[in-house]
Amino acid sequence: MAAEEASRSSPRSRREPKGRASRQDKYSVLLPTYNERENLPFIVWLLVKSFSESGFNYEIIIIDDGSPDGTRDIAEQLEKIYGSDRILLRPREKKLGLGTAYIHGMKHATGNYIIIMDADLSHHPKFIPEFIRKQKEGNFDIVSGTRYRGNGGVYGWDLKRKIISRVANFITQILLRPGASDLTGSFRLYRKEVLQKLIGKCISKGYVFQMEMIVRARQLNYTIGEVPISFVDRVYGESKLGGNEIVSFLKGLLTLFATT
């Protein structure tokens, strides 16, 4: 059956998609950007490469929040290069929250699966085919990339950052028992309707928003699969993890602890 599909399909997809994704499956990648002029060309190039090589159907939705550094210009050039069926520009006037960026992006998404990730090259698109395979394998509602299991890991963190990360994760696991090893990660695959439902229920911001999504997902009995990923942090040197962020993380964690 696979051979017939391959011969009937367009010359572009010479290989059958692994994981037996059906012909109707389409993956919409949401890329909220703010001042990502430097990284945007590369993340898009890597996404296109990854999807072309694996044969899955996709679109990339770039949600730029009025970046002053010319991100929008680069996005428009990329749209010309790759086509407006693959690159969708859906910008906003000013910097608003991540949750609303996802909502905005999903309004225009024609895929039945949504992939969220960072646009700063810390998440590598090569893991997306693995997410898709994992999702098919277990028929999961959500697949989450984890830095803490298997051969997942991080590049560019010093000892202090690693300690903070592990301590935070440990406390989170003890308090919330979430059934996922990496709660603050933002490299995930969702069924579209699952993401829509969850965003409607979440109220936190920042790191805690990503945590709340997983916690709410468990409450609603959605299934979560995990794929180890490598996280290449090229920004950490410039943006230290400040006391403010730690405090707001703890406040958010305790709120989730007390309310879910």
Partner 1 sequence: MTKLAQWLWGLALLGSAWAALTLGALGLELPLSCREVLWPLPAYLLVSAGCYALGTVGYRVATFHDCEDAARELQSQIQEARADLTRRGLRF
Residues found near partner 1 in the complex (CB under 8 A): 41-42, 45-46, 74, 77-78, 80-81, 121, 124, 148, 151-157, 159, 162-163, 165-167, 169-170, 175-177, 230-232, 256-260
Rounded to a whole number of angstroms, the minimum distance from the CB of residue 74 to partner 1 is 8
Q: Given the complex with partner 1, which of 48 and 98 has the nearer CB atom?
A: 48
Handedness of CA 29, 82, 10, 17 (dihedral sign): negative
Nearer to partner 1, 107 or 166 (CB): 166
Q: Which is nearer to partner 1, 181 or 186 (CB)?
A: 181
Measured CA to CA, the distance from residue 119 to residue 91 in angstroms comes to 15
Q: Are strands 142-146 and 188-191 parallel, antiparallel or unpaired?
A: antiparallel
Report the Cα 148 to chain-centroid distance in Å: 16
Q: Angle CA(121)–CA(122)–CA(123) in degrees, nearest 5?
A: 85
Query: Nearest distance from residue 167's CB to partner 1, in Å?
Result: 6
Which lies closer to partner 1 via its Cβ, residue 7 or residue 239? Answer: 239
CA-based angle 228:124:30, to the nearest 5?
105
State the nearest-atom distance from the C-beta of 161 to partner 1, in Å: 10
Residue 65 DSSP label = B
Buried b (16+ CB within 10 A) or exposed e, 105-126: bbeebebebbbbbbbbbbbbbe
Cβ proximity of 64 and 92 under 8 Å: yes
Output the smallest distance, CB 16 to partner 1, in A: 25
Residue 173 or residue 196: which is nearer to partner 1 going by CB? 173
One-letter amino acid of 246: I
Least gap, CB of 122 to partner 1 (angstroms): 9
Residue with Cβ nearer partner 1 (94 or 177): 177
In whole angstroms, how close is the CB of 235 to partner 1 at the nearest point? 13
